[in-house]
Chains A and B, each alone.
Chain A
Amino acid sequence: MSTERAYKVFKIENGTVIDHIKSPLALKIIEILHLQNNGIISIGMNFDSDKTAKKDIIKVENVYLSKTETDLIALFSPTATINIIKNGEVIEKRLLEMPDFVFSILKCPNPTCITNHFHDCDTKFEIFKVNEKTTNARCVFCERETPVVPEMIK
């Protein structure tokens, strides 16, 4: 299926299009951004793409995601792109920027980290880009540094 056709299938008038998501992370990203109860969402998975081997697409109707929200996607799929659509027109093409800190959404992989033992200790990670392929997260509490993988999502 060509990219052209994918767009035709899901065309939206108003909302946010997240394209070039590394497959199969579309569902994870919907979870992280809490989009599941947020109106109509179209999901396309496993399209062929030049940018990544297989890509997913998410289209969220009538919701304009903020930059802070979309930058979280950079943790798992830095090649994703964001288009904001109004009245059928792309009004903003947004690039992802890696956030410096990430709150709540990741779980610390260290079993004896304090954040894994008390319900009132939320997580906080400092984010470092190691290279094009690897992003590391350092737990602010236990100070362990690990590469970010989708399995770390709570």
Chain B
Amino acid sequence: MNFKNKNIISIRDISKEQIEYIMKISAQVKAGTYPDLLKNKVLATLFFEPSTRTRLSFEAAISLSGGNYIGFADAINSSVKKGETLKDTIKTITGYCHAIVIRHPYEGAARVAAEVSKVPVINAGDGSNQHPTQTLLDLFTINEKFGKIDGLNIGLFGDLKYGRTVHSLSMALAYYNVNLYLISPELLQMPSYYKQHLKQSGVPFFEHETLNEIGKKLDILYVTRLQRERFGDPLEYEKMSGSYRVTEDTLLSLANHTKIMHPLPRVDEITPAVDTYENAIYFEQAHNGIFVRQALLGLVTGAIK
């Protein structure tokens, strides 16, 4: 499968076969098959808005593979503030590196960058639109834990209306034979557009407002945060956020094997006491981001064939 010079912009552009291949290579990277994968490569990490976690994950992935990186952590001191267009910034930097990782506050920025870049572009988040490496590391983690994705019962929990992560994950899971449980307050249900996509893909999905009836069925509980600003009434938020907080009590309504995932950073939607349980795999999930990003950078730069 040829990934050299492929842009990684949106889950929409990535086929099931490509996802499977990325997961296979990520597992090999994790097993140590490709030391110094990015030796003699220069990667640009262009963060037009700050996202410390994503940036550190990419920069660690590059450094741990023997590569170098150039770039910026926010747009405050860069040429952007002086009125340069995104296309001009990319046209310049494309001559300095072997691949570009871009994070931008506006939706569509990564695709615009890819239009003018001579080197491959990886989207590290464009506004509320896409964050494909997050979805790929989620799938990798699921596949690693269960040895498969087909046949699993997966619960998406919390804010399913505004959560970019769960939208993108649901689109990718639509490639598989999974059962999806969409657990959210009525106000924050999955938008009909994504449900339509699941329907067309033949993925059975079930909407619930609590874990009570279905918690024991789940192989995975994917937790996202309810944001205060989504609620008009602060009292409503207080009431709701309590029932969407994962505590040691919540674990009682889950099966013994239900793995708990979260895209991080978390605020208070999972209490720290839960971290010590074997089924809490969110930090492991974040660490897997390194291998998946190493694999992707290796593939798009042609370092891995």
Is chain B a partner of chain A in the same complex? yes
Chain A interface residues toward B at CB < 8 A? 110, 112-115, 117-121, 139-145
B111 CB-CB contact with A under 8 Å: yes
B202 CB-CB contact with A under 8 Å: no
Closest to B111 in A: A141
The 8 A CB mask of B229-253 against A (1 = contact, 0 = none) is 0000000000000000000000000
Supply 19 further A-B pairs (C-beta < 8 A) apart from A118-B85, A141-B107: A112-B128, A113-B106, A114-B107, A115-B108, A117-B106, A118-B86, A118-B87, A120-B85, A121-B108, A139-B108, A140-B108, A140-B111, A141-B108, A141-B111, A141-B112, A142-B106, A142-B107, A142-B127, A142-B129
What separation, in Å, do the CA atoms of A145 and B193 have in the docked complex?
9
B266 CB-CB contact with A under 8 Å: no
Contacts of A143 in B (CB 8 A): 10, 12, 107-108, 129-130
Q: Which 8 A-B pairs have the closest CB atoms?
A: A141-B108, A142-B107, A114-B108, A142-B108, A114-B106, A118-B85, A114-B109, A120-B85
Contacts of A119 in B (CB 8 A): 85
| A112–B85 touching, CB < 8 Å | no
- Given A119-B85, A141-B112, A143-B12: A112 and B193 interface contact (C-beta under 8 Å): no
| A112–B127 touching, CB < 8 Å | yes
What separation, in Å, do the CA atoms of A114 and B104 have in the docked complex?
9
Nearest chain B CB to A28's CB is how many angstroms away? 25
Contacts of B112 in A (CB 8 A): 114, 118, 121, 141
Supply 8 A–B pairs (Cβ within 8 Å), ascending by A: A114-B108, A114-B112, A121-B112, A141-B107, A143-B10, A143-B129, A144-B107, A145-B193
B105 CB-CB contact with A under 8 Å: yes
Contacts of A117 in B (CB 8 A): 106
| B86–A114 touching, CB < 8 Å | yes
What separation, in Å, do the CA atoms of A40 and B89 have in the docked complex?
45
Contacts of A139 in B (CB 8 A): 108
> A-side binding surface: helix, strand, loop or mixed?
loop
- Given A142-B127, A142-B129, A143-B12: A113 and B86 interface contact (C-beta under 8 Å): no
What separation, in Å, do the CA atoms of A47 and B243 have in the docked complex?
60
What separation, in Å, do the CA atoms of A145 and B85 have in the docked complex?
25
Contacts of B108 in A (CB 8 A): 113-115, 121, 139-143
- Given A121-B87, A142-B129: A112 and B106 interface contact (C-beta under 8 Å): yes
Contacts of B87 in A (CB 8 A): 118, 120-121
Closest to A119 in B: B85
Contacts of B106 in A (CB 8 A): 112-114, 117, 142
Nearest chain B CB to A121's CB is how many angstroms away? 5
Contacts of B127 in A (CB 8 A): 112, 142
Contacts of A121 in B (CB 8 A): 85-87, 108, 112
Closest to A144 in B: B107
Contacts of B130 in A (CB 8 A): 143
Contacts of A115 in B (CB 8 A): 108
Contacts of A118 in B (CB 8 A): 85-87, 112
Closest to B109 in A: A114
Interface hits, B74-97 → A, CB 8 Å: 85-88
Closest to B86 in A: A118
Closest to A117 in B: B106
| A112–B107 touching, CB < 8 Å | yes
What separation, in Å, do the CA atoms of A115 and B12 have in the docked complex?
20
What separation, in Å, do the CA atoms of A63 and B127 have in the docked complex?
44
Contacts of B105 in A (CB 8 A): 112
Contacts of A145 in B (CB 8 A): 193
Contacts of B193 in A (CB 8 A): 145
